Structure 1
Amino acid sequence: MWQTVFETMMSRLVRTGSLRVTYPDGSTSRFGDGSGGLEAAVKIRDEATLRAICLRPDLALGEGYMDGRIEIEFDDIDSLVRLVLRNWRDDAFPLWVRAVNRTRFKLGNFIQKNDPRRSRANVAHHYDLSNELYQLFLDQDLQYSCAYFADPTMSLEAAQAAKKAHIAAKLRIEPGMRALDIGCGWGGMAITLARDWGAKVVGVTLSENQLALAQQRVAAAGLQDRIDLRLQDYRLLDEPFDRIVSVGMLEHVGLPHYDTYFSKVSELLDPDGVALIHTIGRTGPPMAQSEWINRYIFPGGYVPSLSELAPAVERSGLWNADIEVLRLHYALTLRHWLARFDSHMDAVKKLYDARFIRMWRYYLTVCYLAFEEQKQAVFQFQLAHKRDAVPITRDYLYSGTAVSADRRAAE
């Protein structure tokens, strides 16, 4: 029965390219017309996995690969997932699959109800993995967010430095200003703003591992008098700031809390202040988050569409001084991360088992494919209370100190 259901589903889905499937009994089927140069082959090892794919394909494919119950020929995750995404149409899937996805989307306010306690647990699930793991594949400054590739051939270190310089230029930050970093990670942005731009920075995070290493880095840089890092929920802050920056944190806020988030930014931001919010976002209509990503990588996470963010910004009373959409920058970043992860495989194997390694490689691959094949990008919102808090054109970003900073970063 389930093989018949699977074959009907794949026949509807895979129109271009070629997919070869080997079933638990050793028989095979081919799907697609062979066009487009995309080919992939998988072996499904048991009937339970075949059934799971028919019922919840996104979750079952990731779990099956992690557990070794789905074998991808040549371990080529890219070709398989790219083939699926390029052919993706909701109507190719059975009614029950579409019903589950619709239900998960409608339950978004419940799934993403990230109160302070749940937020702490969600952060710990991902960010309190060993710091050693992240040091193996991130740049030297441990920037775990989209880099800025002014030139696609830039090194990861240069692109991450360029990202920080680009953000600092948008903040119009000056020596002595008080800056808040919401979701400060391992402290790289805070250190950069304090060391290179003379700011006094408060950084908040919910990750104990990140905080401990970030505080060590601040001490090593001799910046304890300029940087105050705290294990604190941003919702509990009640002090004013000249500048606010948040990079890669809004994805963890959740649908029910956008009003709270942007209202808090408005409340904390000085009347003459500027905020820069950097987040993954969708350029298409809202949709349910990947069930596999939510379960294994980012519980409580959600990639918002612009249409879901704009109303909360409007209700906050803030001016949306600028929105920049970074296309493909995160795909390039993730490709660098995966290449570094693979190049340090011997060290990774000393930290984690084979299942974790398959999970992490699958995560990095499907994420860069989301930016290459789906309507996913990065938004940078520049927010202010006053319409003239920043220049009325972007020329200032590409002249003077901003250009000098970008050039230094690329060297």
Structure 2
Amino acid sequence: MLLFVPFLRHLVRYGRLTVIDASGRPHLFDGKPLPEFRPVTVRLHDRRLHWRIVIEPSLAVGEAYMNGTLTIEEGTLHDFIALASENMTRANPRFSFQERLSFLVRRLQQWNRVQTSRRNVAHHYDLSDELYKLFLDPDRQYSCAYFTASDTTLEEAQQAKKYHIMSKLLLEPGQRILDIGCGWGGLALSIARHHDVEVTGITLSEQQLAVARRRAEEEQLSHRVKFILADYRQLADRFDRIVSVGMFEHVGVGNYGTFFRRMGELLNDKGIALLHAIGRSYGSGATNAWIRKYIFPGGYSPALSEVLSAVEVSGLRATDIEILRPTHYADTLRHWRMRFEQQRAKAAALYDERFCRMWEFYLSGSESAFRHQGLMVWQMQLAHHAEVLPATRDYMAFAETSYPHS
């Protein structure tokens, strides 16, 4: 019997999956029917997949799709990944030898020194600027949007996300703001548009830096916003407010103590910080092997328990924690996935078919991780002293509704 047959028979408890092996023989795995999962048929074109799927499933399947040695015969790639994600979660989030081994060596995988971090960031964020234009909103928000209604557009949801974050910072005229991992500058520029403050955005991506600086000049905000190429460990200034969105996933579990210690050193005694990041609901784990190799080397989305233990010994206090429901990022990724599909020919012209299949697998797999595998987004407000904040959260709602929403 082929190795993957008993493996998948044990795994596929929900939905209907047919695998046509490299010899052309079909194998049906018929689990409990669930209305949200369509039947899927995949074909294997490489005999090595008969054993690789068992030994290193996440890496083998992703690479096979990229290389064209696994093709979808019935259903879509998204249907296949959703079905696989749901079954993997119900079976055991660390069900394979590959996942167990990754957990044991995750600190080595995430050993993100300054130079390593720069190389990891360049791997993903220094891709062609034209690529990100294909699927992001015009403000280049590359993190979880905030959908306040079912008919909210991606642009509206990304604007709402920025306002939601800004409302937690108690921004006042004359303050100095640090944006750690500023991306293409969207949040920093929004803060400067609405508040008489001085913003410094740092990034390790040369492509992002160039775009952010150009945007500041075009909007005549260079006197309020400056962008520099720097790591959070290299700064020696002090700030009234610190914000970081979508960067903490690149820190690495072994550097959490350093990160919060440096944040405490950079934050004024009466300062406030806001950290926005992806987390996992089921406790500590390891980064998917395919994601780690092809998309985010050195990356990891932590459980809150891993983060809070580092905060508690840093001298900072967690003054507010909000969990954004998984649907916010799942819907964000759905928008990105659909926009990428619509612009796929342009992406292929920039790179090639293999790259397009890689990006499709990345976006669809990430969406499924939020819908089926327990990923969520958390926002943590931090301060040296809780007394610098109001006793209730009313100020957040008041500040959020004060921003223009047209």
**Secondary structure of the structure 2 residue equivalent to 1:171:** coil
Letter in 1 for 2:129: N
Deviation at 1:217, TM superposition (A): 0.4
Given the alignment of the two structures, is residue 82 of structure 1 paired with residue 103 of structure 2, yes or no? no
The 2-side partners of 1:75 and 1:358 are apart by 16
Contact 1:90-1:98 at 8 Å conserved across structures: no
**Alignment match, 1:383:** 382
Counterparts of 1:290-369 in structure 2, within 5 Å, are 290-327=288-325, 328-369=327-368
Q: Give the direction of change, closer, same or farther, for the CA distance of 1:198–1:74 in structure 2 (3 Å limit).
A: farther
Deviation string 1:341-400 (CA, Å, 9 cap, x unpaired) is 11222322221200000100110001011111111100100001111222222222222x
**Alignment match, 1:114:** 112
**Alignment match, 1:139:** 137
Deviation at 1:90, TM superposition (A): 8.4
Deviation string 1:150-169 (CA, Å, 9 cap, x unpaired) is 11321111111111111111
**Alignment match, 1:288:** 286
Counterparts of 1:136-215 in structure 2, within 5 Å, are 136-215=134-213
**Alignment match, 1:63:** 63
**Secondary structure of the structure 1 residue equivalent to 2:168:** helix
Deviation at 1:91, TM superposition (A): 6.4
Q: Give the direction of change, closer, same or farther, for the CA distance of 1:9–1:403 in structure 2 (3 Å limit).
A: same
The 2-side partners of 1:348 and 1:298 are apart by 19
The 2-side partners of 1:198 and 1:72 are apart by 54
Mean Cα deviation higher: 131-140 or 386-395: 386-395
Q: Give the direction of change, closer, same or farther, for the CA distance of 1:322–1:89 in structure 2 (3 Å limit).
A: closer
**Alignment match, 2:43:** 43
Contact 1:12-1:92 at 8 Å conserved across structures: no
The 2-side partners of 1:91 and 1:347 are apart by 39
What is the alpha-carbon root mean square deviation over aligned residues?
1.6
The 2-side partners of 1:90 and 1:368 are apart by 17
Letter in 2 for 1:185: G
Deviation at 1:74, TM superposition (A): 4.8
Deviation at 1:75, TM superposition (A): 6.2
Deviation at 1:221, TM superposition (A): 0.7
Deviation string 1:21-68 (CA, Å, 9 cap, x unpaired) is 111111111002351132211001120122211210010000000100
Q: Which runs of 5+ in 1 are unaligned?
A: none
The 2-side partners of 1:402 and 1:386 are apart by 23
Letter in 1 for 2:331: L
The 1-side partners of 2:90 and 2:293 are apart by 21
Mean Cα deviation higher: 100-109 or 330-339: 100-109
**Secondary structure of the structure 1 residue equivalent to 2:274:** strand
**Alignment match, 1:395:** 394
Deviation at 1:73, TM superposition (A): 2.4
Deviation at 1:89, TM superposition (A): 5.6
**Alignment match, 1:252:** 250
Question: What is the count of residue pairs matched by the alignment?
Answer: 403
User: In percent, how many aligned pairs have the same letter?
Assistant: 46
Q: Which runs of 5+ in 2 are unaligned?
A: none
Mean Cα deviation higher: 379-388 or 79-88: 79-88
**Secondary structure of the structure 1 residue equivalent to 2:387:** coil
Deviation at 1:404, TM superposition (A): 2.8
The 2-side partners of 1:382 and 1:74 are apart by 46
Write 1 or 2 for the structure with the bigger share of helix.
1
Letter in 1 for 2:291: I
The 2-side partners of 1:99 and 1:43 are apart by 24
The 2-side partners of 1:138 and 1:154 are apart by 15
**Alignment match, 2:230:** 232
The 2-side partners of 1:90 and 1:132 are apart by 39
The 1-side partners of 2:89 and 2:235 are apart by 44
Letter in 2 for 1:394: R
Choose the corresponding residue for 2:402, options 386, 404, 407: 404
| TM score, norm. by length of structure 1 | 0.95
